[in-house]
Amino acid sequence: MRTRLFSVVAGVALAVSAAAVPAIAHHSFAAEFDAKKPVKLRGTVTKMEWINPHSWIHIDVKTPDGKVEKWMVEGGAPNALLRRGWNRNSLLPGTEILVEGFQAKDGALRANGRDITFPDGKKLFVGSSGIGAPDERSDDKPLK
Amino acid sequence: MRSRLLTVAGLAMALGLITAAPGAAQGPTPPKAPATVQRTPWGDPDIQGVWSFDSEAGVPFERPQALGTKAAVAESELEEFLEEREAERAERAPTLGGITGAGPTHWFEDWGQKSNRTSLVIDPADGRVPALTPEAQARQRAGGQGGGGTFGNGPFNSFSDFTNWDRCITRGKPNVMFPTIYNNNTRITQGPGYVAITYEMIHETDIVPVDGRAHLPENLRQWLGNARGHWEGDTLVIETTNFTDRTNYRGATSTLKVIERYTPVPGKGLRYEMTVDDPKTFTRKWTAALNLTPSVDMFEYACHEGNYAIKNVLSGARAAEKAQGAAR
């Protein structure tokens, strides 16, 4: 078993870094989206806005009564997406995707996304408007 | 501009949708740092180029107290030290990311870096920012809980309730030079009598005269402060004053004075040192340092134009008020 040489150290570092949270993202999730309004959207991409400070994915979502709702999903900054391997072909119009996220506080058809799932189960991380924390979920199974 | 950005990125990056392995660099290889100090045609040291501060992104700003005055970890301990640092970061991450989190660790440009340094603060010897003066503590108490922007608790009644960073104005000097989640690059351009420093995050440019002129009068205040530079040997020294009352750097506001030093390190890159001199805020001067490495070109970051969040947060706050009103 490895000794945890630096664990005390890291514990202190943790407290310091937590206090410095505002320094690591452009803006926070909490002020814009409602953690009490989780949404699961299956839709078709109509447009991707490659804009800073956060990208926006536009999707058409069919409701059970046959209507089409136009949703906007907030993703990561283009600069960060590009450096992580996204490109203009990553999410073309017409692509069917499943997005899990949280709806806007004002109730509009906007959500933040974190990852999206393609029909074959492949996932694409969209960066969200989160603050730079690694994955908190362990499930990597395709979403139903 | 946008299409050019995408073309460059498209050429530079693999087409696959699956993101890279942790810590893997993508895109073109950065240039090598010159083996000797270069000169501009007019004779100044040449420190031009795009510089990255990603390589020290995992280093905490302040040193954990248990490490005392140990500024760097020995080679024999390094692997274990880094392993534990990353494990602790991964462990605490879920509590930082809010309910949606922000993705897998390979997402972060600062992940997997190998610096042996224990803090970015190098003076005082304990690697920690000195205590605030009683005056600064009183100022903070009087300021209350507001001012946190989207990371605070509101209220959100106007654009002025957001931080300068939320508003795409600036992260503020000297924050602009310290690592964050992405956009950790700085471009330095020189002309006779001037040095221009562009920060990739927010994309603001600090135009620094190096011709010996005086600072602006005290009544003229600027978001990035007012910078004046000069050369000491091969080192560019920049003194910045005239910050605004909306400046908030670790408790310092308009009385903040920042002295930055950029020194070419042949074969490696640039050494950046930043001293904070503000006796009204800190009980002593202190200094933090970064080792910058050559980087590939920066991306544009037109932040304000697409900053829908400001409107969205304000309309969210109005909706919350309405809901509260209806509940009463």
Alpha-carbon radius of gyration of chain A: 17
B182 → chain A, closest CA residue: A80
pLDDT number for residue A127: 66
Q: Residue B189: which pLDDT band, with cuts at 50, 70 and 90?
A: very high
Please name which of B272, B270, B299, B301 lies closest in space to residue B288, comparing C-alpha atoms: B272
What is the mean predicted confidence (pLDDT) over B307-313? 93
pLDDT number for residue B77: 95
- Percent of chain B surpassing pLDDT 70: 85
pLDDT number for residue B141: 86
Question: Is it the case that residue B11 has pLDDT exceeding 90?
Answer: no
Q: Is B128 helix (H, G, I), strand (E, B) or coil?
A: coil
**pLDDT digits over A47-68, tens only?**
999 998 888 999 999 999 999 9
Tell me the C-alpha distance between B103 and A13, whole Å. 22
Lowest mean pLDDT among B96-100, B159-163, B170-174: B96-100
Q: Which of residues 120-139 of A touch B (CB under 8 A)?
A: 122, 124-125, 127-137
Contact at 8 Å (CB) between B36 and B265? no
pLDDT number for residue B64: 92
Q: Best-predicted range by mean pLDDT among A3-7, A54-58, B131-135?
A: B131-135
Residue A122 zone, left/alpha/beta (φ > 0; ψ -120 to 50; rest): beta
pLDDT number for residue B110: 67
Q: Residue A17: which pLDDT band, with cuts at 50, 70 and 90?
A: very low
Tell me the C-alpha distance between B19 and B13, whole Å. 11
Phi/psi at B293 (nearest 5 deg)?
Answer: -120, 155
Q: Give me the interface pTM, i.e. the ipTM.
A: 0.79
pTM: 0.83
Q: Residue B109: which pLDDT band, with cuts at 50, 70 and 90?
A: low
pLDDT number for residue B153: 75
Distances from the Cα of B302 to the Cα of A89, B168, B194, B224, B299, angstroms = 21, 9, 24, 18, 10
Of the candidates A29, A50, A90, the beta carbon closest to that of B98 is on: A29
Q: Residue B281: which pLDDT band, with cuts at 50, 70 and 90?
A: very high
Q: What is the mean pLDDT of chain A?
A: 73
pLDDT number for residue A123: 82
Q: Which of residues 3-62 of B touch A (CB under 8 A)?
A: 5-6, 9-10, 13-20, 26-27, 60-62
- Dihedral angle sign, alpha carbons of residues B170, B176, B182, B185: positive
pLDDT number for residue A11: 37
Q: Which of residues 97-156 of B touch A (CB under 8 A)?
A: 97-109, 148-152, 154, 156
Which chain B residues touch A108 with a CB distance below 8 Å? 312, 315
**pLDDT digits over A108-144, tens only?**
999 987 778 988 888 887 765 444 322 222 222 222 2
Q: Which of residues 51-110 of A touch B (CB under 8 A)?
A: 51-54, 56, 74, 76-80, 82-90, 101-102, 104-108, 110
- Percent of chain B surpassing pLDDT 90: 63
pLDDT number for residue B108: 66
What is the mean predicted confidence (pLDDT) over B317-324? 93
pLDDT number for residue B87: 83
pLDDT number for residue B96: 52
Contact: B17, A90; criterion CB under 8 Å: yes
H runs (alpha helix) in chain B: 2-12, 75-96, 134-143, 308-327
Question: Is it the case that residue B204 has pLDDT exceeding 60?
Answer: yes
Task: Tokens 């042996």: give the residue.
Answer: B116
Question: Is it the case that residue B101 has pLDDT exceeding 80?
Answer: no
Question: Is it the case that residue B4 has pLDDT exceeding 80?
Answer: no
**pLDDT digits over A77-109, tens only?**
888 888 878 888 989 999 999 998 889 999 999
Distance from CA of B69 to the nearest CA of A (A): 13
pLDDT number for residue A122: 86
Question: Is it the case that residue B174 has pLDDT exceeding 80?
Answer: yes
Tell me the C-alpha distance between B140 and B248, whole Å. 10
Alpha-carbon radius of gyration of chain B: 21
